[in-house]
Structure 1
Amino acid sequence: MPISQGDLEASIRNVIPITHLEIIDQSSGCGENYAIFVVSDAFEGKTTLARHRFINDILKKEIALMHAFSQKTLTPKQWEAQQAKATAA
């Protein structure tokens, strides 16, 4: 059973406050391979590994139905710094 971008978004937004969220279906629409980019205050003070485990726990049911899943997680401060660096380049 394919997972929809809407299902992933709802699952994440129902648990943590989101500053920015991108969900990309990398499986040409079949819903079995997603990459997500999440910016949230909920990641403040957490290591990258702890953030990824947190998202994996939130999306446990959905990930079990996927072939592949990748994620990038940042705090709002990290995201702002990344955007400023990209703009300056």
Structure 2
Amino acid sequence: MFRKSFLKIANVLTLRSFTAKPGPIGTEITEILTKELAPVHLEVIDSSNGSESHFRVLIVSEKFNNLPLIKCHRLVTDLVKTKIDSGAVHAFSVETLTPNKWKPEKE
């Protein structure tokens, strides 16, 4: 259910957030995940209509190969833990995929 609704939102919006320009928190999350996980595809969506308190992340990375789903999610969440612990980010949803699992979906 999450994947279908998430992908519908992502397909409708070609931007990385609901706002015209990603805010500082969304930008920082994007930079951290890009630096640490070298994603093939990354979508950081501010689902709080610009207040940057709720984020949905779809990330496709080779680093997820041979890892169980829970470890992939922990890897991503641990990278933005300071934002979550500080209260800057209230809700953080993650969908992680390997490039092999993502390719059929993007076609």
The normalised TM-score by structure 2 is 0.72
2:67 aligns to what? 46
| RMSD of aligned residue pairs (Cα, Å) | 1.5
* Structure 1 SS opposite 2:37: coil
**Are 2:89 and 1:66 aligned?**
yes
- What code does the residue aligned with 2:59 have? V
The answer on whether the counterparts of 1:24 and 1:34 sit within 8 Å (CA) in structure 2 is yes
The answer on whether the counterparts of 1:3 and 1:66 sit within 8 Å (CA) in structure 2 is no
Would you say how many aligned residue pairs link Structure 1 and Structure 2? 83
Structure 1, unpaired ranges of 5+: 85-89
Higher relative contact order (CA 8 A, sep 6+): 1
The answer on whether the counterparts of 1:51 and 1:73 sit within 8 Å (CA) in structure 2 is yes
2:51 aligns to what? 30
2:32 aligns to what? 11
